[in-house]
Amino acid sequence: MITFTFVNPDGTETAVQVAPGYSVMQAALANGINGVTAECNGSAACATCHAYFDESVTSALPEIKEHEDDMLDFAASPREAGSRLSCQILVSEALEGTRIRLPDAQ
């Protein structure tokens, strides 16, 4: 199991333990995290699973492809350096101990 922490829009934190292979979006939904909406349930079509990853892990994540890149520009909250669609990121060793911040609006 991999352990990491969601930082909710209100500043509270929720630590979760997730088996590798699930997406970060699925991890959020399975743990009742409200800061992720995931309207398209991982089809990379809604941009309501936007999350901010810490700089220390971004280089270990799979690179942003053209489609995700385009979608991120249209997320409801501003794009930052660590912005990703959490449905496109699979839980792996790289996320152990990291903090994933969720935006004010999805």
Give the range of 14-22, 32-40, 53-61, 78-86 binding other proteins by CB under 8 A: 32-40
Q: Judged by CB under 8 A, does residue 82 bind other proteins?
A: no
Chain centroid to CA 87: 7
**Which partner in other proteins, ligand FES, none is near 7 (CB below 5 to 8 A by kind)?**
none
What is the binding site for ligand FES (CB under 6 A)? 25, 38-49, 85, 87
- Closest CB 39 distance from ligand FES, rounded Å: 6
Cα separation values, 82 from 19, 53, 85, 92, 99, Å: 23, 5, 10, 17, 11
Distance between CA 92 and CA 32 in Å, rounded? 20
